[in-house]
Amino acid sequence: MVEVTSYAEVVIAPPAADAIHPAFSNLFVQTEILRERHAILCTRRPRSVGEQAPWMFHLMAAHGAEVGEVSYETDRSRFIGRARSIADPLAMSDTAALSGSDGSVLDPIVAIRYSLTLEAEQTATIDMVSGICETRETALCLVEKYQDRHLADRVFDLNWIHSQV
């Protein structure tokens, strides 16, 4: 049994707004767990009429291994724990599933934990993909797209080719 846990802090506000008052910017973030797609969506509630909020997605896809329990966390304080730090978070010392909290949280993160079963000499590929889009529909399309290992591999191949030009 192998456990793999992803973690990223969510910043959807413009850089200047986040630098001035990150706690205030976080108050507007909503998170949504897509359990059937092993993904988390995040958006920032608009602060004014006509403002189009961006959508962030984070997913994990395992290929070549038997996936057991999958759990999620979007609340930083639950992930890190009381009197702990990101260097020693509670979630990494506790073998229990992540809490699965979503919605409005004070300090948003995206974390996904997979429990995988690997046989001796078996290999697996774990894709962790994060991105940002203009609309929820686009984010959902990309979540769907990157579930396919061949498409994910193609993206890495194209990026490598692009970096060589």
Cα separation, 113 vs 97, in Å, equals 8
User: How many residues in total does the chain contain?
Assistant: 165
pTM above 0.75, yes or no: yes
Tell which residue, 159, 93, 149, 92, has the closest CA to residue 123. 149
Fold entry, domain 2-164? Beta-galactosidase; Chain A, domain 5 (2.70.98)
pLDDT, tens only, 91-150: 998 778 999 999 998 899 999 999 999 899 999 989 999 999 999 999 999 999 988 877
- Residue 1 banded pLDDT, cuts 50, 70, 90: confident
Which parts of the chain fold into alpha helices (H)?
Answer: 15-20, 22-26, 76-80, 90-93, 136-145, 149-164
Mean pLDDT of 4-26: 86
Annotated domain spans of the chain:
2-164
What DSSP designation does 123 have?
Answer: -
Per-residue pLDDT at 36 exceeds 90: yes
- Hey, what amino acid is at 151? L
Mean pLDDT of 41-70: 90
